[in-house]
């Protein structure tokens, strides 16, 4: 995807404007890894406050975390008693994940998410894919893989930046400390209907779909969120294999 140059500074404060680069997704996340966990990230704050009920109790369950990043969900769920296998295509992110306390009980695998997952059919009770789908081009193939590895009695839990944020010129991005440039890992202009239809075509049934906007509480805790007050920021889905 080529980002419209008019979007680059849309919705940004003067402190956030400046030189910007659009880079391949893997390269972008390798460079983002250095500061990923330390940033003010309202999307992650909102997601972490809403996603737990969809995941449920994972003690004793097999969990796949597809696009695990720095392990923020994988390690927490492993500590809660799940047997977690976590995939990501960014070695930079995985280096950060493996260095965290508790990482030794997670099986981390570097893998190109555009390729079939190196995981067995029907082997996971929970399949997570968090803040990844806006970087996926082949949604049908990707959802088919999520369905393939999920047990018939399991569920797939999805979080993604709400597509409405593109109307504000917002996509995944960060300020690179060494260069001071704003870096945009390559994204795809996927819509809610694209996600729903890809899930349906893959044989997944929609059990939950919700949209979550920036409210005054989030705006107070995250300075970056304040300018999006009232806008939908997060989309959550829970899907189940059709029997």
Q: 188 in helix, strand or coil?
A: coil
Which residue has better confidence, 170 or 206? 206
Distance CA 48, CA 237 (A): 14
pLDDT at residue 5, rounded to an integer: 31
Mean pLDDT of the 107-116 span: 96
pLDDT at residue 13, rounded to an integer: 38
pLDDT of 42-89, one tens digit each?
999 999 999 999 999 999 999 999 999 999 999 999 999 999 999 999
Q: Given pLDDT bands bounded at 50, 70 and 90, which one contains residue 243?
A: low
pLDDT at residue 116, rounded to an integer: 97
pLDDT at residue 12, rounded to an integer: 43
Sheet holding 83-88, edge to edge: 106-110, 83-88, 62-66, 124-130, 150-161, 232-241, 204-213
pLDDT at residue 136, rounded to an integer: 94
pLDDT at residue 2, rounded to an integer: 37
Helix H segments across the chain?
Answer: 25-32, 42-50, 52-55, 72-79, 91-98, 139-149, 192-201, 216-221
Distance CA 206, CA 3 (A): 31
Residues paired with 169 in a beta bridge: none
Query: Which DSSP symbol is given to 124?
Result: E
Q: How far is CA 198 from the centre of its chain?
A: 17
**pTM above threshold 0.85:** yes
Q: Which of 32, 50, 45 is nearest to 88 (CA)?
A: 32
Both tokens of 204, joined, read 């997944």
163 and 171 in contact (C-beta within 8 Å)? no
pLDDT of 154-181, one tens digit each?
999 999 999 999 888 888 888 888 888 8
């Amino acid at each position: 995807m080529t980002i419209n140059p008019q979007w680059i500074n849309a919705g940004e404060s003067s402190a956030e404007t400046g030189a910007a680069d659009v880079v391949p997704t893997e390269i972008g996340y390798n460079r983002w890894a250095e500061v990923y966990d330390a940033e003010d990230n309202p999307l992650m704050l909102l997601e972490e406050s809403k996603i737990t009920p969809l995941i449920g109790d994972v003690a004793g369950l097999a969990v796949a975390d597809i696009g695990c990043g720095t392990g923020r969900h994988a390690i927490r769920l492993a500590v809660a008693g799940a047997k977690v296998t976590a995939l990501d295509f960014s070695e930079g992110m995985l280096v950060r994940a493996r260095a965290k306390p508790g990482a030794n009980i997670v099986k981390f695998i570097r893998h190109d998410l555009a390729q079939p997952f190196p995981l067995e059919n029907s082997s996971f009770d929970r399949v997570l894919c968090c803040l990844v789908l806006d970087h996926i081009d082949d949604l049908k193939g990707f959802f088919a893989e999520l369905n393939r590895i999920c047990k018939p009695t399991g569920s797939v839990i999805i979080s993604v930046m709400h597509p409405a944020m593109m109307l504000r010129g917002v996509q995944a991005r960060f300020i690179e400390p060494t260069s001071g440039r704003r870096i945009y890992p390559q994204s795809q202009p996927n819509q809610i209907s694209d996600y729903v239809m890809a899930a349906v075509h893959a044989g997944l049934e929609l059990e939950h779909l919700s949209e979550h906007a920036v409210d005054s509480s989030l705006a107070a805790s995250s300075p970056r969120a304040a300018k999006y007050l009232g806008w939908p920021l997060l989309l959550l889905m829970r899907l189940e294999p059709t029997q």
